[in-house]
Structure 1
Amino acid sequence: MSLPSPDPSAQPFDAKGFLKQVSTQSGIYQMYAADGKILYVGKAKNLKSRLGSYFQSGGLAPKTRALVSRIARVDVTITATETEALLLEQNLIKQQRPPYNILLRDDKSYPYIMFTSGDEFPRLAMHRGVKRKGVRYFGPFPNVGAVKSSLSFLQKTFRLRQCEDSVFNNRTRPCLQHQINRCTAPCVGLISREDYAADIRHAEMFLAGKSDTLVKELADLMEAAAGQLEFEQAAGYRDQIAALKRVQAQQIIEGGTADVDVIALQQQGGMACVHILYIRQGRILGSKSHYPKSGISQNWSEDSAELLEAFLSQYYLNHRERSMPRLILLSDAVPGLEALGEAIEQQSGRRLLFQTELRGQRLQWMQLAQKAAHENLSAQLSSKQNTLQRFEALQEVLNLSSLPERLECFDISHSHGESTVASCVVFDTSGPLKSDYRRFNIDGVTGGDDYAALEQAIRRRYTRLQKGEGVLPDILLIDGGKGQLRRAEEVLAELAVNDVLTIGVAKGTTRKAGFETLILPDRQGEMTLSGDSPALHLIQHIRDESHRFAITGHKNRRDKTRRTSRLEDIPGVGAKRRRELLRHFGGLQEIRQASVADLAKVPLISKKTAEDIYSALNTE
């Protein structure tokens, strides 16, 4: 949302006179423009101190300067405590939607999974709205997608009915769901009430986070069925075990009982993404990304704590139906969370704990959330910002006579010199041109010699281009410093490629995104762009894409080289251990996908043996 400029004819706000009489008590303040429209709502433990910070002579962030330039009036409301101020602030933000406040739009109720009651063969279904007595509910889930994913898994694994009673009561033959092995057809009596009840109980165990207990029970049933020569039934239990193990491999478990919200903040290119990972009963039920909105230029990097504080207040105070765990994990430290915790307890009767110092399983959850936030924000930036404008900005900062229409970027990836792969990615004014991406398997060079690997890749790439097998770029970006740039320039000179501008992209002294240094060709020096420069965002995008493309190629090459023997060929894994492994996981494919920690949970398998199995069977 764009904001109008301040009215030059309006009288300036008398901040000095206002601050002389304002209270030092806690409360909220409302800032208004000359036309009487609300600009901003804030809270303060000390109103005089907080409001004085807006009118200091220097050091204000761009967001604050833009706000202050439009203030014509400030109203304050005194409250008894800081907690009351926080609650009042959130109510006013929700009602008035001030343009300079961080705004969160998310008011949908949350869905559940339910099992109908009173039926001989209960139905599995999604539910949203008022709960009914006697019905078993599991959840809430973060969104409908998480529910549908869970329902699909339950239907495939336990073959429970999802059809309405009107359909169920009028069937005379099995439907398509039975034919594709997703329902046991209780409607026409193809399964007994006792067996169906067992399937329901197993599904409830899974939803309650008792997967380990369930797997052990299914393993016993599989062995019992096999002992009675009921091999088809044993195979069914085996498939259920395998399905459960696949789900467990995708999730990080903490004792099977943890209820946690994991909140990660990522900022890039003037935008912010807050990603929430929902952990219930130790299982990851789903996630959701939020993109806080503001009417001003969003340089969130100035104060990530302010953004997270505003987000947490709106997210947990404005949605009383929201399911709240007792523990919230945060990617950034936020001061003043005591008042927020008290406000939530006062409103919902539930005390929240906030934690930022993480380790073990909780740290792994946070890493998942941070990765998702980063990827979603990158996708949002790519869709929101016009790539052509970024090219035009690059033309301007490099002082080029014409618009560059094609960029290429090289990167090298290896593991301590093993399976070295070079990538070349291509961007045009429409974005990534993936049909022109190329990878080069590097051979014949000393392992770990990035200079030689880069030289080989560039020579192979531009020898082909010189022969007319492609189009030369306007700008060639090298992910590296002066050494890599000089080597690239030497190769291009040997190949008589003279019309390509070559630039190195070094990480800078802090090695953080936004502080990259551009190494200019022909020893012209270096250039550092501001963190909000569209030209820098374009360079970061293509550099990160070349990095991703190189790593993917390297992993594929390394995995192909490392792929090795089957379970029977692993030293120290005899018949008893193989039996326990297959009993626990259900099949060789599931053993391949298991982590070292999962393998070590199997009886007779020590941590050392688990590491040997993992190395022999797993590609990672």
Structure 2
Amino acid sequence: MTSQLTAPAPEPFDAKNFLRQVTRQAGVYQMYNAEGEILYVGKAKNLKNRLTSYFQSSANLAPKTRSLVTRIHHIEVTVTNTEAEALLLEQNLIKQQRPPFNILLRDDKSYPYIMFTSGDEFPRLGIHRGVKRKGVQYFGPFPNAGAVRSSLSFLQKTFRLRQCEDSVFNNRTRPCLQHQIDRCTAPCVGLISEQEYRADIRHAEMFLLGKSDALIVELADLMEAASAQLEFEKAAAYRDQIAALKRVQAQQIVESGNSDIDVVALEMQAGIACVHLIYVRQGRILGSKSYFPRLGAEESSEEVLEGFLGQFYLQGAGRDYPRVVVLSHAPESLPVLSEALQKQSGKNVSFISDLRGQRQKWMQMAQLAARENLQARLASKQNTQQRFEALQELLRLDEIPERLECFDISHSHGELTVASCVVFDTNGPLKSDYRRFNIEGITGGDDYAAMEQALRRRYLRLQKGEGKLPDVLLVDGGKGQLNRAREVLDELGVAGVYLMGVAKGTTRKAGFETLLLEHGEVSVDGDSPALHLIQHIRDESHRFAITGHKQRRDKKRRTSTLEEIPGIGAKRRRELLRHFGGLQEVRKASIEDLAKVPLISKKMAEDIYRALNSE
């Protein structure tokens, strides 16, 4: 008989002895389990008082805190001179160690900016991330790429500035499609002088700086001067710019002054938190974004918001800070956070929660958005947000994509080709934005030409402002379809859209798809949430295309035979189909039965009968 040796159980943490030794100074504490793994990192103005609160009667502790305390094997403390220094150290340790009982916020990498390459003869309008360069003007930051694209689209349509790369600009010999759809003045081929183009740049800068009122006055003066000189086309262009600016002003009912403010609202429910930020720069809302931090041992709204604010503002290297942060809740540590921010960045940022006037209206908007986005996340049976996060990691994107589009082609032996476009956002299928395209004028069965026509028709409309560009575009097909899609986007001047091809694998079974990126193939596990999202949108585009093709085919079968009979127009066809219920019943009808239909004479009944039964 053999006996098995078992490892001795770890000794329980001696809280009384530990608390007898701990200091009352400010500092940071790190809690570890028996395996030496970090559990939680916290900061305190008085370490002894804060740590004592964990080891009171368990009945007074929240469930997560009780779970944390039962796992503690030892605690390490680091003493700091001030509570602000403790807060900075706490956030650095959270970022490095990512403890499971702390609130964790996904890194945002860098925020996007609108830029003008001011050193060029004809400056380029574009989007920028990362380190700022000399000789370039930056406006922002914007909360996400979608907000930047919206502003870029407005600027390009209103002031007609170039967005093409210098390599394209320097080698043009004739205007591109952007000029043809009136979104660029074609400085590449000399259709506008440098002086006039610089004026357009200055007007765009005034808009980005929130000086829309002054800009409208200046454009009105220019319009009157152009009219007086009988330059009516130029006057009309100024008129259109004024109209566009006034439309934006009408939409931006929340403009007020020249404030730089972040509005932060928190909503919590069912163990999930949503923090919604509205970004106000120069008195104008640039956009907003929702965050879903992973909750830790913190329970109250104030504690959760405190943890979020620390990670969001203290871990954002190179972040542009607002002057004021407006909050839905008031954590006790706001003065400490403000002091820590001043130490780290040299910026004086005020955190306030006592609101009135315009700031109260902004907060109401943020709270409503946080509430709705939290409900959408809770209602998501497919856990779409997790799938989008997995797709972000798979494609190595700087932020979670907010809009996906997928195209597919359906036909019967090359006839009656239909292309589908389906749209997903972070809440799932966005069916109101689905579109179908009846493909005409191509060789039957040429899926490449069909895809090209569908993409061209779709994105030419989007370039004209009739919708939103996606963050990721998927095409159902292999490398050839992917290359054709890239050619179309380049020709239309569509930038900032990530392309992916979804090809059926060798077994043509779900889970074995080949994912094609522009730089090569990417492998993904069959149980990956990202692959499940790709399969979902691909299958939905396939279903939508087949449904459209069947509808088109059935419509032809119902009407085409009758349309070929002389004397049978739309009204008589409608009466026949209404009387018999369908083409098949019309085929079965006798001459006498056909003659009973309104508008159908005996002679017409005979003609219809012969035409339908000629075989």
Deviation string, structure 1 residues 407-433 (Cα, Å, up to 9, x no partner)? xxxxxxxxxxxxxxxxxxxxxxxx99x
SS at match of 2:141: coil
Tell me whether 1:135 sits opposite 2:136 in the alignment.
yes
Per the TM alignment, residue 144 of structure 1 is displaced from its structure 2 partner at its CA by: 2.0
Deviation string, structure 1 residues 4-58 (Cα, Å, up to 9, x no partner)? xxx9944332222222222111111111112221110111111111111111113
Give matches, 1:89-108, under 5 Å.
89-108=90-109
Give matches, 1:121-200, under 5 Å.
121-200=122-201
Give matches, 1:375-390, under 5 Å.
375-383=372-380
Counterpart position of 1:51:
51
Q: Is the 8 A contact 1:115 1:137 kept in 2?
A: yes
Per the TM alignment, residue 131 of structure 1 is displaced from its structure 2 partner at its CA by: 2.4
Between the aligned partners of 1:263 and 1:125, the Cα distance in structure 2 is 28
Per the TM alignment, residue 127 of structure 1 is displaced from its structure 2 partner at its CA by: 2.0
Give matches, 1:259-278, under 5 Å.
259-278=260-279
Counterpart position of 1:509:
none
Counterpart position of 2:349:
352
Between the aligned partners of 2:108 and 2:8, the Cα distance in structure 1 is 39
> What amino acid is aligned across from residue 244 of structure 1 in structure 2?
L
Between the aligned partners of 1:275 and 1:124, the Cα distance in structure 2 is 29
Range with greater deviation from structure 2 (220-229 or 160-169)? 220-229
Counterpart position of 2:306:
309
Per the TM alignment, residue 265 of structure 1 is displaced from its structure 2 partner at its CA by: 0.5
Counterpart position of 2:611:
none
Per the TM alignment, residue 181 of structure 1 is displaced from its structure 2 partner at its CA by: 0.7
Between the aligned partners of 2:368 and 2:214, the Cα distance in structure 1 is 31
Q: Is the 8 A contact 1:32 1:73 kept in 2?
A: yes
Per the TM alignment, residue 126 of structure 1 is displaced from its structure 2 partner at its CA by: 1.6
Counterpart position of 2:528:
none
Give matches, 1:569-584, under 5 Å.
none
Counterpart position of 1:22:
22
Counterpart position of 1:115:
116
Deviation string, structure 1 residues 228-283 (Cα, Å, up to 9, x no partner)? 44443333222212211222223245554211111110112221011111111111
Tell me whether 1:325 sits opposite 2:322 in the alignment.
yes
Per the TM alignment, residue 295 of structure 1 is displaced from its structure 2 partner at its CA by: 6.0
Between the aligned partners of 2:128 and 2:228, the Cα distance in structure 1 is 41
Between the aligned partners of 2:257 and 2:158, the Cα distance in structure 1 is 20
Per the TM alignment, residue 347 of structure 1 is displaced from its structure 2 partner at its CA by: 1.1
Per the TM alignment, residue 385 of structure 1 is displaced from its structure 2 partner at its CA by: 7.1
Per the TM alignment, residue 386 of structure 1 is displaced from its structure 2 partner at its CA by: 7.6
Between the aligned partners of 1:60 and 1:295, the Cα distance in structure 2 is 14
Q: Is the 8 A contact 2:272 2:295 kept in 1?
A: no
Between the aligned partners of 1:308 and 1:13, the Cα distance in structure 2 is 30
Between the aligned partners of 1:152 and 1:51, the Cα distance in structure 2 is 54
Give matches, 1:199-598, under 5 Å.
199-253=200-254, 255-294=256-295, 302-383=299-380
> What amino acid is aligned across from residue 269 of structure 1 in structure 2?
A
Between the aligned partners of 1:179 and 1:8, the Cα distance in structure 2 is 79
SS at match of 1:140: coil
Q: Is the 8 A contact 1:100 1:294 kept in 2?
A: yes
Q: Is the 8 A contact 2:377 2:383 kept in 1?
A: no
Q: Is the 8 A contact 1:252 1:365 kept in 2?
A: no
Which structure would you say has the larger Rg?
Answer: 2
SS at match of 1:69: helix
Q: Is the 8 A contact 1:252 1:283 kept in 2?
A: no
TM-score (norm 1): 0.58
**What is the count of residue pairs matched by the alignment?**
383
Between the aligned partners of 1:337 and 1:140, the Cα distance in structure 2 is 24
Q: Is the 8 A contact 1:210 1:256 kept in 2?
A: no
> What amino acid is aligned across from residue 38 of structure 1 in structure 2?
I
SS at match of 2:218: helix
Q: Is the 8 A contact 1:252 1:284 kept in 2?
A: no
> What amino acid is aligned across from residue 191 of structure 1 in structure 2?
I
Between the aligned partners of 1:323 and 1:151, the Cα distance in structure 2 is 20
Q: Is the 8 A contact 1:33 1:39 kept in 2?
A: yes
Counterpart position of 1:553:
none
CA-based RMSD of the aligned residues comes to 2.6
SS at match of 1:274: strand
Range with greater deviation from structure 2 (97-106 or 181-190)? 181-190
Between the aligned partners of 2:336 and 2:296, the Cα distance in structure 1 is 27
> What amino acid is aligned across from residue 81 of structure 2 in structure 1?
A
SS at match of 2:241: helix
> What amino acid is aligned across from residue 243 of structure 1 in structure 2?
A
SS at match of 2:380: helix
Q: Is the 8 A contact 1:209 1:257 kept in 2?
A: yes
> What amino acid is aligned across from residue 102 of structure 1 in structure 2?
I
Between the aligned partners of 2:8 and 2:111, the Cα distance in structure 1 is 48
TM-score (norm 2): 0.59
Deviation string, structure 1 residues 133-192 (Cα, Å, up to 9, x no partner)? 222222222222222211111000000111122222222221100111101111222222
Tell me whether 1:11 sits opposite 2:11 in the alignment.
yes
Between the aligned partners of 1:384 and 1:264, the Cα distance in structure 2 is 25
Between the aligned partners of 2:8 and 2:316, the Cα distance in structure 1 is 40
SS at match of 2:36: coil
Between the aligned partners of 2:336 and 2:16, the Cα distance in structure 1 is 29
Per the TM alignment, residue 62 of structure 1 is displaced from its structure 2 partner at its CA by: 1.3
Between the aligned partners of 1:132 and 1:23, the Cα distance in structure 2 is 47
Per the TM alignment, residue 123 of structure 1 is displaced from its structure 2 partner at its CA by: 1.3
Q: Is the 8 A contact 2:210 2:284 kept in 1?
A: yes
Between the aligned partners of 2:320 and 2:369, the Cα distance in structure 1 is 22
Tell me whether 1:35 sits opposite 2:35 in the alignment.
yes
Between the aligned partners of 1:95 and 1:303, the Cα distance in structure 2 is 25
**Closer, same or farther in 2 for the Cα pair 1:227/1:45, shift >3 Å?**
same
Deviation string, structure 1 residues 65-124 (Cα, Å, up to 9, x no partner)? 111121121122222211121111111111111100001112411222222233322211
Deviation string, structure 1 residues 320-366 (Cα, Å, up to 9, x no partner)? 21110121100111112111111111111112111111111111111
Q: Is the 8 A contact 2:266 2:275 kept in 1?
A: yes
SS at match of 2:71: coil
Q: Give identity over the alignment, percent.
A: 73
Between the aligned partners of 2:153 and 2:204, the Cα distance in structure 1 is 12
Range with greater deviation from structure 2 (233-242 or 354-363)? 233-242
Counterpart position of 1:548:
none
Counterpart position of 2:463:
none
**Closer, same or farther in 2 for the Cα pair 1:154/1:370, shift >3 Å?**
same
Between the aligned partners of 2:109 and 2:70, the Cα distance in structure 1 is 36
Counterpart position of 2:85:
84
Counterpart position of 1:543:
none
Q: Is the 8 A contact 1:114 1:138 kept in 2?
A: yes
> What amino acid is aligned across from residue 100 of structure 1 in structure 2?
F
Q: Is the 8 A contact 1:178 1:184 kept in 2?
A: yes
Gap runs ≥5 in structure 2:
1-6, 385-427, 433-615
**Closer, same or farther in 2 for the Cα pair 1:324/1:8, shift >3 Å?**
farther
Between the aligned partners of 1:338 and 1:361, the Cα distance in structure 2 is 24
Between the aligned partners of 1:158 and 1:146, the Cα distance in structure 2 is 18
Gap runs ≥5 in structure 1:
1-6, 388-430, 436-620
Counterpart position of 1:64:
65
